[in-house]
Amino acid sequence: MNDLNAKIRQTRLICLPFDCLSHYIEIVNYPEKFRATMDSIVKQWPELFPPEFFNGYLLKDIRPSTKLSIPVRRIKISGISYTVRPSFVMPYMTGFVDDVEKGLFLRKFNVPFWALAHVFGKKPMYWFRMEQSLGRNSIVGTTVKKSEDLPKHVAADEKHSRILGNKVYVATTSANGCILGASVAENAGEKNLTKAYGIFKEETQCIDPKYKPETVNTDGWKATQNAWKTIFSGIIVINCFLHILEFSKINCRQPKYIVR
């Protein structure tokens, strides 16, 4: 097994959209309803399922979740068991989305974990682990399922932010109206940006090891452009038209009054 394949985490989980717990309970305990729901979802969002799914699948069993006390259905695809998780439940069955959404939102404003535990319950370590688990999933891998859907043209820029009062830069990659990468760089230097944007490349290679975008749209920051040239050799860097226009306005601007 090469290094790339060693990095790929083979998931055995399928997350499907369900409106609420009551709707889910009405379906999961009845094989006919569950299969009909699966067949309906796969027509709308085939990318949610592994390729082998379309060769047929078997309903396996129902297991109670020890963390949330809800039934969880398992199916078998090409001899491999997959767990079907409803979308209103957090990954790894750590909680219901509605129960943790407000607490995680407050972490944006550095509300301490002990305060979240005091208001929303649980222990401070629960909220700490909940926040840390947000980075487990590959942004590219959870958004793009097929190699042919990987974008040929991307845009990149740094979002200025702060962590514990220290300024950082979130190296963000987007395409087709969707964010495909967001990694923190300690500074806006070429070395740190190369490392941050490089995570986008690592995640795309799990889908297509030969993937390389044709162009990247950036502002005029040289470190950003050099970082992308390092990550994807031969990529064409396109300067953002809006940045160029603004820069031209500044250069062409003449003072209204001349003091003699």
pTM here is 0.62
Q: Tell the burial category of 218 from Cβ atoms under 10 Å away from its Cβ (0-12, 13-18, 19+).
A: buried
Q: Could you tell me if 25 and 37 lie in one domain?
A: yes
Q: Which residues contact 13 (CB under 8 A, 6 or more apart)?
A: 82, 83, 84, 85, 91
In a domain, 117, yes or no: yes
In a domain, 212, yes or no: yes
Q: Hey, what are 133's tokens? A: 């688990």
Give DSSP secondary structure letters for 128-173. HHHHHGGGSS-HHHHH--SGGGS-SEEEEEEEEEEETTEEEEEEEE
Q: Could you tell me if 155 and 194 lie in one domain?
A: yes
Half-sphere exposure of 239 (CA within 13 A, CB side): 11
Domain that holds residue 109: 92-135
Identify the band that residue 92 occupies on the pLDDT scale cut at 50, 70 and 90.
confident
pLDDT tens string 11-37: 688 888 988 888 899 899 899 999 999
Identify the band that residue 241 occupies on the pLDDT scale cut at 50, 70 and 90.
low
Residue 180 has pLDDT above 70, yes or no: yes
Q: Hey, what are 88's tokens? A: 């209103």
Q: Could you tell me if 53 and 83 lie in one domain?
A: yes
pLDDT tens string 28-75: 989 999 999 999 998 888 878 888 888 899 999 898 887 888 999 999
In a domain, 189, yes or no: yes
Q: Could you tell me if 177 and 238 lie in one domain?
A: yes
